[in-house]
């Protein structure tokens, strides 16, 4: 019977559902029919497959060819189906043995010459194949993807001719070998080419705030006049954050693969720092499109999303970040699909406190400053755990002799130790502690909680802020290796509420 079934995989967000390519050759007028909900890019594979088979030296059957991509209700897009369709036609016409393809999956785009081209978004395919322990044939140009995953039952084909020779048992195809192990990140810190905090003059309070944010994975808002070092501080947070573990790094690499971006082997365990411009649209930030793709918040998963000049972002765009900041994921619903992408990022933002840059500028009165700050909605500002002032340096600070500053490497050791304490105690970082978890612990003295509630009522803050201050105080205590939280930790956490103090000052005028 002139029929063959070839296994491959589709792309559906970060998932790679199995697809069976069924090829049937029958008598009748020569035709090539492709069914199974193919998009335009898949329909065009008919001409690529025909030319590739002929130019490789095989015979293209002059018969009625029907190719079914099952399941029929799953949309198929891209050129990744070229190779399995070609293998199915060759197997159905008896030019390669059926038994050689039963335990393998095939993915690749074909050139007219028979060369097998690179395909994007194959890391989810390799991860799925690894879970099911099946062999897979990939383009040679996708070798780096397999190396990142570390799956050894992968073979790489450069041409259709060499692949068919392998299926006939006449030759061998290269693989990544059995010496690739990614289970543990390198011991050396990944602070290469990100600068050191010791390069920044002064700003000790801001550096301490950055350390607290890094230790507890807290969201941070920095306010200050232009040129005070806000952007430099934000860019150096990668130097004090620990490396990703294997599972986290693989999650990030999968999102980059789906987005059509690559991650180099030497940066596999490094946290990502995304810095979109303030003209970015909501779709570019949270993801979407006709074929939903990950946005900046997903590409910053387990890393840092830095929004410079945050007050210049459209308010509607910023408010789109509110739900992902709470849930750690974004659900994109479109007519074609409903996809969920992970987006557990740390938000670092910087802004000027007034439209003139400096709050003491006589050109800006309190009403103008309030209108400027109102570009950020209250619920969005409520998502920041810390907000701090980054003031101008005092007169003479630039030319005075500077004392030895702490390096990022020294601070990174404290941050890593504080994170280890949190994970050992609660299983999560302090920023992920729930209100119930905070209430059940004995970290706070009842009198200190009453003191905190009184301060919140004076500042007019929400219950969310009440819990966030407790989480920040817990992180401050962890950095000092304190088991319980005293009032000094709470007072220090309250000192990082610069935006609330600014609003209360302006309202007093």
Model confidence over 283-309: pLDDT tens digits?
Answer: 999 998 877 889 999 999 999 999 999
Pick from 98-102, 151-155, 415-419, 499-503: least confident: 499-503
Cis peptide bond prior to 71, omega within 30° of 0? yes
pLDDT one-digit tens code per residue, 158-192? 999 999 999 999 999 998 875 555 555 655 444 45
What CA–CA distance (Å, rounded) separates 369 from 356?
9
The stretches of 236-346 forming alpha helices (DSSP H) are: 246-258, 282-286, 296-299, 315-319, 322-327
Percent of the chain with pLDDT over 70: 94
Per-residue pLDDT at 180: 56
Percent of the chain with pLDDT over 90: 58
Per-residue pLDDT at 456: 83
Start-to-end Cα distance in the chain? 88
Tokens of 382: 């409520």
Average pLDDT over the chain reads 89
Handedness of CA 259, 263, 267, 269 (dihedral sign): positive
Per-residue pLDDT at 36: 93
Per-residue pLDDT at 191: 46
Distances (CA, A) of 253 to 29, 93, 133, 187, 471: 47, 39, 20, 20, 30
* Helices 498-507 + 366-373 axis angle, to 10: 140
pTM for the model stands at 0.90
What CA–CA distance (Å, rounded) separates 467 from 130?
41
Pairing of strands 31-35, 64-70: parallel
- Of the candidates 86, 76, 154, which has an alpha carbon nearest to the alpha carbon of residue 114? 86
The stretches of 97-203 forming alpha helices (DSSP H) are: 123-132, 143-149, 160-167
Would the pLDDT of 399 be above 50?
yes
Distances (CA, A) of 474 to 292, 424, 429, 489: 39, 14, 10, 8
Would the pLDDT of 358 be above 90?
no
pLDDT band at 346 (very low <50, low <70, confident <90, very high): very high
- Of the candidates 222, 231, 317, 314, which has an alpha carbon nearest to the alpha carbon of residue 275? 231
Q: Give me the torsion for CA of 139, 144, 149, 150, rounded to 10°.
A: 90
Per-residue pLDDT at 183: 54
Per-residue pLDDT at 454: 87
pLDDT band at 392 (very low <50, low <70, confident <90, very high): confident
> In terms of pLDDT, which residue wins out, 434 or 19?
19
Average pLDDT over residues 275-287: 93
pLDDT one-digit tens code per residue, 214-270? 999 999 999 989 888 888 899 999 999 999 999 999 999 999 999 989 888 888 999
Reduced DSSP (H G I as helix, E B as strand, rest coil) percent helix, strand, coil of the chain, to 5: 40, 15, 40
Pairing of strands 64-70, 18-26: antiparallel
């Amino acid at each position: 019977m002139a029929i063959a079934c070839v296994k491959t995989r589709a792309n559906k967000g970060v998932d790679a559902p199995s697809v069976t390519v069924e090829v049937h050759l029958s008598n009748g007028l020569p035709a090539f029919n492709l069914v199974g909900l193919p998009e335009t890019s898949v329909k065009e594979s008919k001409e690529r497959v025909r030319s590739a088979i002929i130019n490789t030296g095989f015979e293209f059957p002059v018969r009625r060819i029907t190719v079914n991509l099952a399941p029929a209700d799953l949309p198929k897009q891209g050129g990744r189906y070229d190779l399995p369709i070609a293998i199915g036609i060759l197997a159905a016409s008896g030019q390669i043995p059926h038994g050689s393809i039963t335990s393998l999956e095939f993915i690749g785009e074909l050139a007219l010459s028979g060369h097998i081209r690179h395909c994007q978004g194959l890391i989810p395919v390799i991860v799925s194949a690894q879970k099911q322990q099946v062999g897979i044939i990939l383009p040679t140009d996708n070798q780096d993807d397999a190396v990142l995953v570390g799956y050894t039952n992968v073979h790489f084909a450069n041409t259709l001719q060499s692949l068919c020779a392998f299926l006939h048992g006449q030759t061998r195809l290269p693989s990544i070998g059995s010496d690739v192990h990614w289970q543990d990140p390198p011991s050396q810190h990944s602070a290469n080419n990100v600068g050191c905090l010791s390069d920044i003059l002064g700003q000790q309070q801001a550096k301490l705030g950055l350390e607290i944010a890094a230790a507890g994975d807290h969201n941070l808002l920095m306010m200050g006049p232009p040129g005070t070092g806000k952007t430099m501080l934000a860019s150096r947070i990668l130097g004090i954050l620990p490396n990703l573990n294997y599972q986290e790094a693989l999650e990030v690499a999968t999102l980059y693969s789906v987005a059509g971006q690559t991650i180099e082997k030497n940066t596999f365990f490094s946290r990502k720092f995304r810095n979109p411009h303030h003209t970015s649209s909501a779709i570019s930030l949270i993801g979407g499109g006709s074929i939903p793709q990950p946005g900046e918040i997903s590409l910053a998963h387990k890393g840092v999303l830095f929004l410079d000049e945050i007050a210049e972002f459209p308010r509607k765009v910023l408010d789109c970040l509110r739900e992902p900041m709470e849930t750690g994921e974004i659900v994109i619903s479109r007519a074609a699909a409903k996809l969920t992408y992970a987006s557990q990022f740390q938000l670092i933002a910087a802004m000027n406190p007034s439209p003139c840059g400096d709050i003491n500028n006589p050109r800006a009165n309190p009403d103008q400053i309030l209108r400027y700050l109102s570009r950020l909605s209250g619920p969005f500002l409520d998502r920041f755990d810390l907000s701090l002032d980054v003031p101008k340096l005092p007169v003479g600070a630039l030319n005075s002799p500077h004392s030895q500053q702490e390096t990022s490497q020294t601070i990174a050791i404290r941050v890593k130790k504080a994170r280890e304490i949190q994970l050992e105690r609660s299983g999560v970082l302090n920023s992920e502690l729930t209100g119930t978890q905070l209430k059940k612990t004995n970290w706070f003295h009842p009198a200190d909680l009453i003191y905190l509630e009184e301060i919140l009522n004076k500042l007019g803050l929400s219950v969310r802020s009440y819990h966030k201050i407790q989480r920040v105080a817990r992180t401050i205590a962890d950095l000092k290796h304190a088991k319980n939280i005293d009032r000094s930790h709470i007072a220090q956490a309250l000192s990082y509420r610069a935006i609330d103090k600014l609003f209360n000052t302006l309202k007093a005028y």
